[in-house]
Amino acid sequence: MHAVSSLDSSALDEAASGATAEAPVRDLRRVPIHPDNWYPLAWSREVKRGKTHGVHFAGEPIVLARTESGKVFALEDRCAHRQVPLHQGVVDGESIRCGYHGWTYDCSGKCIDVPYLGRERLPNGVRSYPCQEVEGLIFVFPGDPALAETKPLPPLASVSDKAYKTRRFGRAVKCHYSFMHENLMDMNHQFLHRRQMGQMRARSLGRRRGEGWVEVDYTFARMEGKQPVGEALVFGQNRNGGGQNDKDVMTIRTEYPYQTLQIRTSDQTLVMNLWIIYVPLDAEQRTNRTFGLLSIRKPGIPGALDLAWPLLVWFTERIFKEDREIVEAEQAAHDSQGEDWNHEVFPVINELRNLLRESGAAHLTPRGEAHTPKDATWQPLRRISRT
């Protein structure tokens, strides 16, 4: 892990001079997310036993089905026959049956029954996606399936550690995923949350960059007022009175395509651990669905965190709502202007922008050019019908 470490103080001034001579670059807001990763497309509870659930990844309709035995599989969400969504159909044992004429597909997407045709002459099927269910999330690999096994799942906050309590949250946000990464990583946006958190000042200690990731450390100082209770729960309590927790260090990291935010006290205890991902829903990638896991370390008194939990939920929802409104305003401005007029002065964010630009897909996947398992004896049907 070769990392570049640097103190930001001079870099900030450098950027402020406006001397960032950028060559013409791709508009970051038009860079598609790279499909060769595992993306959560639903919470486990959304896909009930014996039911289908239709989702989207970057405009691709995908049906998730949980069979009678409880297994989840993922197929492209259209019948090979007349293209109606399979999620309007029914789960039948371990397979899925289109609701229109009853064409039936197994978990690999192969067509195994057309009620009015002989079994020896069945048409081809539909595309399937690698799929796994972990910690209440259903992950799908929308890219080249041959790569799925080579890409491990990321650590999911501290969700499996009993010392932590984890909140699952998220919703659709009407903006390109890149705005979300920039929002979280630039802690100078504390001004946005002034009503929730009072006047805080972030100070960046330094940034590091490696292959596929960038991260930055911050400390915080309260400018005036006292710490709100909600904030104390989330970011760690101000243990020894005013201004004493500026020894806590917050580290925000984008490890493509995921993002984490961790707070450690001066004795290196991890008190907060957030894992978050922004999954594009539409083909233009102008809307993302955010999935977040926020792990909070339990304090010494048993049950105290459970008691405070509703307040924490309320506080984080308020913060998330403010973030959502401002990134949607950024997207609306981009849509109206037709190009990226962003003028960034904070080197950390320019580094992040470069990472997102370089890590994204080359172009939007042409429709119907989806990958097919090489060892499959059948082919997605529409290939044939369209040539």
Tokens of 209: 């960059």
Give the residue with the Cβ less far from a second copy, 153 or 345.
Answer: 345
Residue range at the interface with a second copy (CB under 8 A); choices 44-52, 96-104, 145-153, 230-238: 96-104
DSSP string, 171-224: -EESS-HHHHHHHHH-GGGGGGGHHHH-EEEEEEEEEEEETTEEEEEEEEEEEE
Least distance CB 82 / a second copy (angstroms):
6
Q: Does 330 bind a second copy (CB under 8 A)?
A: yes
Least distance CB 343 / a second copy (angstroms):
4
Question: Which of 34, 51, 201, 298 is in the footprint of a second copy by CB under 8 A?
Answer: 201
311 contacts: CB under 8 Å, gap ≥ 6: 229, 230, 233
Give the residue with the Cβ less far from a second copy, 36 or 344.
Answer: 344
User: Going residue by residue from 332 to 361, which x/- string records binding to a second copy, judged by CB under 8 A?
Assistant: -xx-xxxx-xxxxxx---------------
Q: Does 319 bind a second copy (CB under 8 A)?
A: no
Give the residue with the Cβ less far from a second copy, 17 or 377.
Answer: 17
Q: How far apart are CA 383 and CA 202, in angstroms?
A: 54
Question: Which of 1, 2, 17, 301 is in the footprint of a second copy by CB under 8 A?
Answer: 17
- Describe the crossing of helices 9-16 and 347-359 by its angle, rounded to 10 degrees: 80
CB of 92 closer than 8 Å to CB of 83: no
Tokens of 335: 């849509």
Q: Does 221 bind a second copy (CB under 8 A)?
A: no
Tokens of 258: 């995921």
Least distance CB 9 / a second copy (angstroms):
10
Q: Does 122 bind a second copy (CB under 8 A)?
A: yes
Residue 155's alpha-carbon distances to 207, 209, 276, 288, in angstroms, are 21, 19, 11, 21
Least distance CB 124 / a second copy (angstroms):
8
353 contacts: CB under 8 Å, gap ≥ 6: 28, 178, 182, 344
* Residue 219, beta-bridge partner list: 203
Q: Does 85 bind a second copy (CB under 8 A)?
A: yes
Tokens of 329: 């305003």
Q: Does 101 bind a second copy (CB under 8 A)?
A: yes
Q: Omega into 310 within 30° of 0, i.e. cis?
A: no
Q: How far apart are CA 176 and CA 32, in angstroms?
A: 9
Of 118, 111, 119, 149, residue with least CA distance to 131: 149
Question: Which of 2, 45, 162, 367 is in the footprint of a second copy by CB under 8 A?
Answer: 367
Q: Does 219 bind a second copy (CB under 8 A)?
A: no
> Where in 132-191 is the site for a second copy (CB under 8 A)?
186, 188-189, 191
Question: Which of 42, 80, 138, 216 is in the footprint of a second copy by CB under 8 A?
Answer: 80
- List residues binding a second copy (CB under 8 A): 12-13, 16-18, 59, 61, 78, 80-85, 88, 97, 99-102, 114-118, 121-124, 186, 188-189, 191-192, 201-202, 325-326, 329-330, 333-334, 336-339, 341-346, 367-368, 381-382, 384-386
